[in-house]
A and B are shown apart, each in its own frame.
Chain A
Amino acid sequence: MEITPGSRFGTFEVLLPVRSLGRETQQHRDDGFPGRLFIVEGIDGSGKSTQLSLLHKWLESKGYGVVFSEWNSSPLVKDTTKFGKKKKMLTAATFSLIHATDFADRTEKSILPLLKAGAVVLCDRYIYTAFARDVARGMDREWVRELYGFAVKPTVAFYFRVPLETAIGRLMDGRDELKYYEAGMDLGLSDDPEESFRLFQGLILKEYEKMISEFGLTVIDATLPIEVQQTQVRQIVKTQLEKAANVRVQR
């Protein structure tokens, strides 16, 4: 089947910004990429990074070629993002675009080629973070989804679901002062950073909840003990990797 703009992966519309990338993404859906992509999502304090790093260590111990890519970490773009945040000059639109630029660089340079090379790619936050934050900031839901139309669909997208108060309780224990954009101060929800953060995270949580069915996110109950969550995560990843004949093992 030829994928044209408007085709859908499940409920995710494909836009094929790069024609060749589109074909590759299609192959990916058909399990054509040798590698596998696992990503974690959730609000701040959901414990997703802890879970991903435990998964990382386990996969390495099993001999897989594992590569980790973090939100907002492109060497080409992150200085601009940092500058914009420091000067508080990012609007909802430029906040959205500069993060998409960062993600594009990581997709073009590491995520996509590494999946072709047969690696297991792990991402701490993925396009769903942008969908949640940008829409909470007032961007058009459809516009943001189209913006990320070039993204490779993850093999499994884990969503660490946690009640707002639990997450905030975890975060507020001995952490530094909240940053302007982190607290969502640009939304003008409240002058008090902590209150603003609470309201902003609430909006983001609402967006995540809507995306569970929209994108088929795999929900993990993030209130469970760390070990229990990790066992669930590993079981799901293991099942996927057993099906993936062409994932490269290092030794």
Chain B
Amino acid sequence: MRQTYGKLLPGMRISDLTGKLIVIEGTDGVGRSTQINLLKPWLEELGHAVLDTGMARSTLAGEGLKRAKEGNNLGRVTQSLFYATDFIDRLENEIVPALRSGFIVLTDRYVYSLMARAFVRGMDSKWIRSIYSVALKPDATFYLRLSIDQLIPRVVFSRGFDYWESGMDVYPGRDMYDSFCNYQTALMAEFDRLSEEYKFEVIEASADAEQVFEHLKAGIFRALESDSRKEYISARGTKTLSISDLTANEKVAPAAQTANAAKFESVLRSIMAHSADGNGRTAQQQK
């Protein structure tokens, strides 16, 4: 059953959100967008409709936020609230409608990044949590983690220092390198705390992209197997799932079958494909 972190926005129905909300989190430069660019075509190939979204991409506030960041006069409270506006616009107009249509929503960062950034800037925890109490709980959150030493070459040698990525507004150091290290270290500490609290699946992002991708695939399979589909999938026990298993199970539990029939098929296909790979969970379970 879909839930929020405590409060529901006016007019938002969440009982019929059949899609899956998958969150990719992590600090700057850990390879989130690289992974999303791999995951999206992979999921689509398996027959899932995918919506990808990310911070500062809302129709309402995306442009305004970018403009506001061009100057150096965006305050800390204002910044937190501008991002909250952007997030809620995407939640109401992209994420929720997509989940209602049965999409897999892949989101590049979620409320956790916004919380971490706000905490590093001294915002009150209760205040931020109250704002995001209206956010949906995701089906899975993957936290791509890198140490600061590993992060520096990835970010700095590829695209140079950015004012905001270096947290110049909070850690004005002698130069951007000092600021970058202080800021990203503080962010990581917040992410680590959030990871414990919200039970992120931690993936070591120091591995090469291919390995990280494999980890993510396995994790996403687990997320897709949960909830309403669980009763069907778990019925397969330790043997390989076949079409006949699925049809048989559908007779046992007819309630959700019509609504989810199309989706079962795509899940089934993904499981079959994954199993055929020989490197996924299904295969592991057989051992």
Contacts and interface: CB of A to CB of B under 8 A. Distances in A.
Interface stretch (A55-63, A75-83, A114-122): A75-83
A97 B81 contact: yes
A109 B68 CA distance: 14
B73 interface: yes
Q: How large is the interface on B (under 10, 10 to 19, 20 to 34, 35 or more residues)?
A: 35 or more
B123 A108 contact: no
Contacts of A140: 7
Contacts of B126: 5-6, 15, 146
Contacts of A147: 130-131
A178 interface: no
Contacts of B89: 89, 94
Please classify the interface of chain A as helix (H, G, I), strand (E, B), loop, or mixed, using the class held by over half of its residues. Answer: helix
A235 B153 CA distance: 65
Interface residues of A, number: 41
B111 interface: no
Nearest to A90: B60
A104 B78 CA distance: 5
Contact of B59 (A6, A16, A21, A89): A89
B75 interface: yes
B77 A76 contact: no
A211 interface: no
B41 interface: no
Contact of B9 (A19, A20, A83, A93): A93
Given A77-B68, A146-B127, A19 B134 contact: no
Given A16-B124, A17-B127, A97 B84 contact: yes
Contact of A19 (B75, B92, B122, B133): B122
B97 to A, nearest CB: 12
Contacts of A109: 73, 75
A92 interface: yes
Interface string B69-111: 0010111111011101100110011000000000000000000
A84 B60 contact: yes
Given A83-B64, A91-B11, A97 B73 contact: no
B75 A108 contact: yes
15 contacts: A6-B126, A15-B127, A15-B130, A76-B73, A76-B78, A77-B78, A97-B84, A97-B85, A97-B88, A104-B75, A105-B75, A105-B78, A146-B130, A149-B127, A150-B127
The 3 closest A-B pairs by CB, nearest first: A80-B64, A138-B10, A108-B75
Given A100-B81, A138-B11, 18 more contacts: A15-B124, A17-B80, A17-B128, A18-B123, A22-B124, A76-B73, A80-B64, A80-B85, A89-B93, A90-B60, A93-B92, A94-B89, A94-B92, A98-B60, A98-B85, A104-B80, A146-B126, A150-B77
